[in-house]
Amino acid sequence: MALLEVENLEVTFGLRQGAVKALRDVSFTVERGERVGIVGESGAGKSVAAFSILNLISRPGYISGGQIRFEGQDLSKLSSDAMREIRGNRIAMIFQDPMMTLNPVLTLGQQMVECLKAHRKISTQEARLIAVEKLRQVHIPSPEKRIDQYPHELSGGMRQRVIIAIALLLDPVLIIADEPTTALDVTIQAEIMELLLELCESNNVGLVLITHDLGVVSQVTQKAIVMYAGRVIEQGPTKEIINDAQHPYTQGLINALPQQTLPGQRLNQIPGSMPSLQNIPAGCAFNPRCEFVMDVCKQTLPGFTRSGGCQVACHMVREMKEKAAQEAS
């Protein structure tokens, strides 16, 4: 049984102008200890997907279809108390903005001890020892001193380390991290990612890492899910996706990576932009931006085609596979 199974997840926003679907047919699994990246441009639905796993989608958004099973349990059937327990104990979330997690008026120690004592029957003394140990694990220097500081006394990078320490506090089996380093300097970003990778690996913690950066996905994850306009358009082993992307959108994201660009050259951005939810084109949502667009792409939504270990939602890829199979037979 997979640790997390998301099946045909659909999320709707009931807006005044009418209902729009922010996610459709999103399916993927995370095994124990597996690191999965969700990637796509702004507006693809990455955060909506992350928040809906934890039932944190807020009005006017709601889960309108599909299933989310965690350790075999259907999360949509849980009471809000049971859900809160899972959110605290089994699944941790790291947000983009550290201040969404850190309380500015409490010291690190106060908030960590409070969190531990809310979930475990331990003394303040014991909780403090665990908190210091977690701060040590994320390489906070002199953790027994730092623990009495307030969040504003720390640098951005240190704060994000504390966030990771808090995420690990209750020994979760899954961490969901939504753009955990975008608020940081580029040099510090790589360090924090390395740390997150190291800690997930050594503690066998599963990770769902949300990012718009395929470079980060390739550094940290084993499986990659590429989203466009609320749907998964390609998914499979990260290595295959990076080395042999099939979907023209994924290829575009890879060509836009800085290392694919010669010094002094402009980044190879994909022309055009992600459609808004109210204006998702018929057929394949990527068709207006696709250089390989065919008539069928404007009319029919492509289903998934297998390609190696990947699944790709693209008419061109399907036609190519069919042709290759015919020639082989």
**Element holding 68 (H helix, E strand):** strand 61-70
Strands lying side by side in the sheet with 223-228:
91-94, 174-178, 206-211, 35-39, 223-228, 231-237, 310-312, 305-307
Give CA–CA dist 226/231, Å, rounded.
Answer: 8
Cβ distance 89 to 172 under 8 Å? yes
Binding span for Mg ion by CB under 5 A among 42-50, 102-110, 279-287, 308-316: 42-50
Among positions 5, 34, 47, 160, the unique one binding Mg ion when judged by CB under 5 A = 47
Give CA–CA dist 312/306, Å, rounded.
Answer: 6
Binding span for Mg ion by CB under 5 A among 8-16, 41-49, 73-81, 143-151: 41-49
Report the partner that residue 22 touches, choosing among ligand ATP, Mg ion, none (CB closer than 5 to 8 A by kind): ligand ATP
CB of 126 to Mg ion, least distance (A): 37
Give CA–CA dist 58/130, Å, rounded.
Answer: 33
Which residues lie near ligand ATP (CB under 6 A)?
13, 15, 22, 40, 42-48, 60-61, 212, 276-277
Report the partner that residue 48 touches, choosing among ligand ATP, Mg ion, none (CB closer than 5 to 8 A by kind): ligand ATP
52 contributes a contact to Mg ion by CB under 5 A: no
Binding span for Mg ion by CB under 5 A among 13-21, 39-47, 183-191, 193-201: 39-47
Using left for φ > 0, alpha for ψ between -120 and 50, and beta otherwise, residue 131 falls in: alpha
Cβ distance 13 to 61 under 8 Å? yes
Site string for Mg ion, 5-34 (x = CB under 5 A): ------------------------------
CB of 139 to Mg ion, least distance (A): 27
Please give the residue ranges that form the binding site for Mg ion (CB under 5 A).
47
